Structure 1
């Protein structure tokens, strides 16, 4: 461990000069960035941390290569302090292919997980739950690495902050939550945003707290020396609050009407670089040595700017790169023929198999260690100590934990108890899991599974019955899976856990007791591939999840009337297997789509558009959809039955299409 600055007088001058150099590098990088932004060479949004250099450098002083940081939209300093190259970063800001993220991230989203930089983040507070995941990975690995999660005072008002700190405390995770209190949350004074101090909040979470002068890099480094040692030794999380000030506005171009010039001038008098300069001289460094540092840093940034100006923009052919990782080619397995097995048992057995084969797989969620609300996992916590984890009721922290752990090399399987609750944690799915591989130019790997369930038909009401796969399928980067039978649930779950991409695995709770032929232990079902489960000649009927069973019932009735329906089980909603649907349409010339989600703006509409655009010349009749009307799921059994399509409604629609 690096010795504390205050405890190493013989090396003090060398240490302080190095700290000064790192701060000067951040100041020069951001000063040039400001000028380049004004000149139009840096596009997008730019948020600078000029005046806050001591917090980044002091906080990262004692970090090792295997330690992790998560950052904020004001994250240039954190990335530079952790060791990222200024040339790559400048190229990224200019949108060049040689940039840190191949021009996909820009100023707010710089990351390099291989260097322990899990990303600056454009969403306020989003790095906090990701840090919890990274710390969970460190704990499961048995390593003594730590995570430092930078956030601003404004993020304290986010639910992400509460959920992340609380979960870290409950699990005794090795994470330091480092608040850079720069006095303003965007345009509002910190004092106007909170009635409780961060110190008071820390007491509520049972987490130790330290306050430090954020303009004094020596003070920050010394405090973090002790804090990191505490956390590295396995004593759990820590909250550090560094008081500092940002010299520029919230963003470049901010008119800054909310503060006075006198206030800014008073903070400039305590310029962190000047303080470090004076400390270096007092420790024995010479002014010539510090001037050499300034000259060298300026030359480094000059070279970085020139490199970025000469670098090429991403090629047009690379537009679709990095959205998803290539997935392994899995052949369609033979039809299952084993002893009947329940859907719930098939899901459990799939997860057990992967946890047994791969120590990087773990499971977390609300009451999962207790078996989960439906009893799917009873006894698994005993079978896999430490790898089946109960969480507080904190969906945002649950999904953020999955993201951070996946970035750290694990394969988490986390549960959101009801599909209706994805709105609570949508940022983790939509802006983090789905986008981080793309925004990091392929540097991030996100092999994670988010399990959830839904199901109308048992009077669960409007907030516990929704089928929201269309919401998730509309997010590029997410794979969305909905099995219809036990064997597919087993094979798709195993494939999802092994997949290098984030997968949302949606189960229908009304099928948990459904029995079907059991699969072989090595059974795997390819993601992104639909299956023709019943061949036919007159009409193609596409469905998924529990509604497929109702479709098959209708197909049996129709067969007695001489109508031959070909039934397709999508299995994976996104990516959509367009080829299988179009090949079937080419054979039957008619298409009916059946789903449990409300009809308007759904997956059925996408399939109808596919038929109209690419299958138009095969159509002999209009495409029809069978789905609930666009109203929330009713509670009263009589209304719910009327709302939810049944086999009669499906058969009537098919008859109409075939006869048209």
Structure 2
């Protein structure tokens, strides 16, 4: 039974959203708000009703039309206006704007400019809630248009498979941007829910009490272990898809008809039926009007971020780690190093978990984790073949305070989940003004040379390194694999950890259990005085072999193992170049626009006066990896190709 006090408070929260959005519309027209603005006028009841029974420690994800959700979850009006105006006092320090308001500490895991992107992130928050067992739930708001996104299907399926405490809350406002929902789908949400084996509920999205009463039962059940549910709340947005939208796709009669069912008018009618006088609602409206006016005035006075803060919040400061002593234990393999590093962190940190395709029962496609799921029940989890859901789950779980280690089976498959990696993991810390923590690891592997073909052989580290906010690590030996993977799991930033599958059987001395290798630090693995040769991952083995070959010819080569591709250890490379005056770079990624190009630019810019010869790159030509063994051998450089380049550079040739 809803009390009169609760009815009045629901009305207050809806009135706050309505007046906030009306003020935002005016501020946008007056050019006080830059960028894009998407308003939720007409949809206030869905936001308030859905969040009514949520706790502070429950998580929501939102959409580009997310102001109402944020307000309903408890965010303050003044910093939200400041955020829309791009001020430093904004919720996200002016880094997010209208579409990206977030406060993970208040359970708001972010409005999102990518349609459907919040859904897998909410699955991550629900995963964290399930693992902690403290009764938290997650709720993901999305519109009917998001149902066409692959992220929706992957996320709902994964939540069903894992039986997560999550509400998928669809605000069906009848339009996907400019298109009618009926023209975008041939199956309704009830049928989709049945297809995924989860519950479905329908509600009048303009009736705040109906929404709240539905959500009361659902959230209570989720706290007790009920599985996911898909809620469809039918509502309507009064304004266009964005402010300035000419709205040629709908009629004025349609809008008038929906306005007759204004959520605030319906709420007032319900209040009158319960004996609440209209004067009480009028007083609320006046109170909210003063609140909005004061908040706008204050936000206008707030300063913009200082230009000197431009680079703030891109990275979390990582702990300083000393270079460890060389490993001198019994011989072990790179594949052992991966397993032992993950096992160590699972043992010593309860917030660490592992997820990916066949990592549990199958122990990973290469058997690296065989038996680990039994050793750590519930913390080594198999997933469906759903890369976006896997990485999105990692993003949400990291925001919830976990340290996920997720696997993308092949590096080539990174391209399937680029949004979650590039637009979410890499950017959310910055776009939330440092509010979002993102300590996650995406493990993957690559390796040409075994006729795996064009879709299973790509070395895509340059593409990933080009994304600000991502760390890219590529070790070349077992000890570094162990120490760097442990450091990556402990790192506060999103790390893509790339193993070369041809190195899984490579042997080397086992380091001490507490062995940690600093991220972002290259290592000179062979001193020399004539040429600097930079490489990483498996190509480093070829580089070292080439250095030994030319050493017999009187060419003394210094070999540097980058270990971390991004951030790039420019200092170690430049220091070596100052002594050798020549630079060769060898890598497995194709030559054009690769890591070698970045190092060549570094040498030309900051090391120009030390260069006595052109920089030479040794890398495959810019084409897909061939399948036929003779063609692949011709395409992929080896120690002979590197040795030839070293000889040419030593002799003063550039080609």
TM-score exceeds 0.5: yes
The 8 Å contact of residues 481 and 574 in structure 1, kept in 2 or not, is answered as yes
Q: Pairwise mapping of residues 27-46 of structure 1 onto structure 2 (< 5 A)?
A: 27-46=18-37
Pick aligned residue for 1:198 from 178, 183, 189: 189
Q: Which runs of 4+ in 1 moved over 6 A?
A: none
Q: Pairwise mapping of residues 98-247 of structure 1 onto structure 2 (< 5 A)?
A: 98-247=89-238
Matched, 1:394 2:399: no
Give distance in 1, aligned partners of 2:442 and 2:294: 44
Q: Pairwise mapping of residues 48-447 of structure 1 onto structure 2 (< 5 A)?
A: 48-369=39-360, 370-447=362-439
**Deviation for aligned residue 1:226:** 1.3
Structure 1 counterpart of 2:563: 571
Structure 2 counterpart of 1:539: 531
Deviations 1:47-101, CA, capped at 9 Å, x for gaps: 0010000000000011011111000000000000000000010000000000000
Matched, 1:452 2:444: yes
**Deviation for aligned residue 1:243:** 0.3
**Deviation for aligned residue 1:228:** 1.1
Give distance in 1, aligned partners of 2:180 and 2:221: 32
SS in 1 for 2:330: strand
Give distance in 1, aligned partners of 2:570 and 2:478: 24
Matched, 1:609 2:601: yes
Deviations 1:431-461, CA, capped at 9 Å, x for gaps: 0000000000000000000000000000000
The 8 Å contact of residues 449 and 502 in structure 1, kept in 2 or not, is answered as yes
Deviations 1:473-532, CA, capped at 9 Å, x for gaps: 000000000000000000000000000000000000000000011111111000000000
Give the number of aligned pairs: 651
Gapped regions of structure 1 (runs ≥ 5): 1-6
SS in 1 for 2:579: helix
**Deviation for aligned residue 1:235:** 1.2
Gapped regions of structure 2 (runs ≥ 5): none
Pick aligned residue for 2:649 from 638, 647, 657: 657
Give distance in 2, aligned partners of 1:544 and 1:444: 31
- The two structures have a TM-score, normalised by structure 1, of 0.98
SS in 1 for 2:533: strand
Structure 2 counterpart of 1:3: none
Structure 2 counterpart of 1:4: none
The 8 Å contact of residues 406 and 448 in structure 1, kept in 2 or not, is answered as yes
Q: Pairwise mapping of residues 576-587 of structure 1 onto structure 2 (< 5 A)?
A: 576-587=568-579
Give distance in 2, aligned partners of 1:235 and 1:313: 46
**Deviation for aligned residue 1:278:** 1.3
- The two structures have a TM-score, normalised by structure 2, of 0.99
Deviations 1:510-563, CA, capped at 9 Å, x for gaps: 000000111111110000000000000000000000000000000010110110
The 8 Å contact of residues 14 and 285 in structure 1, kept in 2 or not, is answered as no
Q: Pairwise mapping of residues 590-605 of structure 1 onto structure 2 (< 5 A)?
A: 590-605=582-597
SS in 2 for 1:332: coil
The 8 Å contact of residues 633 and 643 in structure 1, kept in 2 or not, is answered as yes
Structure 2 counterpart of 1:528: 520
Matched, 1:510 2:502: yes
Give distance in 2, aligned partners of 1:170 and 1:229: 21
Give distance in 2, aligned partners of 1:119 and 1:383: 35
The 8 Å contact of residues 211 and 240 in structure 1, kept in 2 or not, is answered as yes
